[in-house]
Structure 1
């Protein structure tokens, strides 16, 4: 089963599912049957709109929706909550399943008419709520926030740090595990950079790209950026307004190790495959392509889009890729075959999209695992009790056997002594 959340320009976050159907009474009673039914039905159902969260308010339109991650790198990164950045500097945290408030949000004080371009949230564990957040606005200001619980119920968000990354930021990506932020903008001095958010220090700045055949170097226009998966923030991808895709490796040099000309439109979003060996690139004309970084060429295109693509999402298993944009459609593709496996009309121009990892099928599997674990622990306790009882019985039996053996030894000893005395008597006579 697939579940996605897509934000739009009128303030809603829309939930879409593929493989949703009513369960029978037997499936409701049996988690195994429910999970199997959902898995078996995954290829038969179309992507459908199952709900929308928020309110109709264009002044608070959704700029970006991102999944809340866990800062513990040793655990899975998915969470039930999502971070929603809205116009006016408002950051909200909502439960991905119900759309209810997962944590009280906060508002960022923006200057000179700036707007948020992205917001990121994370927590320490899947059971805890969002505890930290980072926001980036188009004025290049980066702010970090932390949740401070009060003695009573509730708490407040406090700004714990702020710095200016550049004058005019356009795109960014943040890794909560390592605390690194890649940000790029438009204009001189706004080329792509990497910052350590905790200390507010810059750790990397890209060099100037090579001049064109006229000897002219265009000013930077980083319209999209993201870290490569499994690279520990050493590699990242960039899309530019001059329809160029660039792959950077900070260990090699400050210039791009791969520079491709893709299409004729502004690259609006880039994303990394699960293994970091491929990049998904989309532009303002609806072109959606795969770049194979090992050969330095495009591997193919995802077809069917007709408008500017504003968001790309990769599923947790890497098997599916989804996109959403101004043509008001959400499309899900198979990552290997590039075939569109599901689509849905969302009724409004969309601004971003994410996969919701905690689908009903995963919840059923989680309940099944918990049930097995409880049965295993109870059986272990039973085995321990039975073992103790057996040990007691064995000890009693051993004592009885020991007594019988001692009696038998005394009898044999007495018999042997009498026989020896008789033999001695015969000899002396």
Structure 2
């Protein structure tokens, strides 16, 4: 759990908006939460351009190649953020600096509906960036990777304490068709398993093996209702259930249905209505006992997976929710959406512990949870950087003073000499004039 240490470990959130600007909101620490003004926006990267705005919900933190979350590890690529833009590109951004990694944006050939990032694992040395476009194309990019950095490194390159970094440009590894009209997708299993779904007949839930590019699971549609009507597929949100080795996952639909799938069963093993609006984002708590369901009407629910009943509701939202994210260690969940307010809730008490106005309509949000070692190294690096800047300024001032002093003396001597010469000329002219009179 978070404890404010000597370095003042902070809570950080990275937010994307529809104008293509990346923002960072921070709180002093876990103990500072409780009032609604604890979070402040203290960093802003990028220029406003609606054409390069971020795609809603396409914002994910980097994961390890062995399916582990790497945001708090001391020996993994922590602090990487994968994002997608409306100009049909995807990119990886370092959370501490806002710098693009891997050579910058990559063209994926369509507007992405999902983007996931994975570091190297036991079966793969390089990094992997997987995107799925609206047209249903899965695009896999690979990139070179460097070993652990012992020092803090260069902030401009996104290198932190105990971090590893991308050292090459992204290159397209493969591209294949997964579905006709995609609305949602997720990648798990260290980048080896892809689930996707869309809208319309033939676009129900499918799972692919990314390496072999083959379908390994295809769900059957739910049975007709009592009127004999079977609604066409409308898959709007997806989420792998942690600890199930990608065998189980949750699906949210446009008909406000929450479904649980198990690849050992052809149909959903759970099919329950949640609210009355389109489900936009899904998450689970740390022990997978509660599923958090957000929709486009501004509702955030907690659903008990054991009893299969609504457990609680989070209050305060005034507009549709684009994305929710559970903190990897803390009992905290954050929501971002159309009302421009970033809100952090306690998952146990359901109280809003902090909020901040983000100025623009938000598209996605992720936690930037760093290890204590990273925090200490970052603080030291900032102090060193400030000290170097001060020394450079002092040297520049000294050099300027040394250069200016002799110049002033020369100018003074020169001007004095000119004045003397002018006076002598005037005297000579007067003497000449006096001689002419006589």
TM-score (norm 2): 0.73
| Structure 2 partner of 1:124 | 120
Does structure 2 retain, via aligned residues, the 8 Å contact 1:290–1:299? yes
Distance (Å, rounded) in 1 between the aligned partners of 2:107 and 2:135:
13
**Partner of 2:134 in structure 1?**
138
Q: 1:91 to 1:320 in 2, by over 3 A?
A: same
The answer on 1:12 being equivalent to 2:8 is no
| 1:66-145 alignment runs, 5 A limit | 66-73=60-67, 76=70, 78=72, 79-110=78-109, 114-124=110-120, 131-145=127-141
Structure 1 unaligned regions, length at least 5: 20-37, 369-429
Q: Aligned to 1:59, what secondary structure does the other structure show?
A: helix
Is it true that 1:175 corresponds to 2:188 in the alignment? yes
Q: Give distance in 2, aligned partners of 1:166 and 1:360.
A: 43
Partner secondary structure for residue 330 of structure 1: strand
Matched with 1:336 is 348
CA distance in 2 between counterparts of 1:198 and 1:62 reads 28
**Unpaired segments ≥5 residues, structure 2:** 1-9, 73-77, 146-165, 381-438
Report the counterpart of residue 42 of structure 2 in structure 1.
50
Partners of 2:342 and 2:356 within 8 A in 1? yes
RMSD, matched Cα: 2.6
1:154 deviates by 6.2
SS at match of 1:70: coil
Greater relative contact order (Cα < 8 A, sep 6+): 2
Q: Report how many residues are paired.
A: 341
Are the equivalent residues in 2 in contact too, given 1:325–1:349 (CA < 8 A)? yes
Show CA shifts across 1:235-262 (max 9, x none). Answer: 11111111111111223x1211111111
1:191–1:206 Cα contact (<8 Å) kept: yes
Distance 1:365 1:39 in 2: 20
- Asked if the contact 1:286/1:309 (under 8 Å) is kept, the reply is yes
Q: Alignment partner for residue 194 of structure 1, among 188, 207, 219? A: 207
- 1:205 counterpart = 2:205: no
Distance 1:40 1:109 in 2: 43
| Residue 311 of structure 1: aligned partner | 323
Q: Is 1:220 the equivalent of 2:212? A: no
| Superposed displacement of residue 96, structure 1 | 0.4
Distance 1:331 1:75, change over 3 A: closer
Structure 1 residues 342 and 176: alpha-carbon distance in aligned structure 2, compared to 1, 3 A threshold? same
Query: Matched residue of 2:376: which SS?
Result: helix
Aligned twin of 1:384:
none
Rg bigger for which structure? 1
Q: TM-score, normalised by structure 1?
A: 0.74
